Amino acid sequence: MTNLNVRTESFGGSDDRWLGSREGLATAQTVTLDAGAFPAGTYVGGVVKSGTPLAKVGGLAVPYTAGAVDGSEVLAGFLATDQDVSNGDAVAPLLDRGRIRTAFLPVAFTAPAGASRFVFVS
């Protein structure tokens, strides 16, 4: 008998060079990524890369946007693992403290003032 509810996913290995330490990984916060906030074509194959800076707006994780005024300007943390959002919202781990190597983040990033849970290094 075939189980039609089984789904197999395959991703390439995450580029974790942005992690400057293992601090916070074992206790990463669970969030739901708002798939609609990650525009098609912006993320390869619908996969949001680990290290993507995130904010929380309306209870969902969205891309962090410096200078915005809708809540997305408040850094909540960094996506700990690659996540596929091509089929809708996805539950994901959010690293909310630790050492971040900004030169290896998957997007351009400038550390915001007051992000004291993180140590930013280049």
Q: What is the pLDDT of residues 3-55, one digit of tens each?
A: 566 555 554 567 899 999 999 899 999 999 999 998 776 677 789 999 999 99
Distance in angstroms (rounded) separating the CA atoms of residues 58 and 78: 18
Distance in angstroms (rounded) separating the CA atoms of residues 15 and 51: 8
Q: What is the pLDDT of residues 60-78, one digit of tens each?
A: 999 999 999 999 999 999 9
Question: Would the pTM count as exceeding 0.85?
Answer: yes
Instruction: Indicate if the alpha-carbon torsion angle 12, 24, 56, 113 is positive or negative.
Output: negative
Contact, 54 vs 64, CB < 8 A? Answer: yes
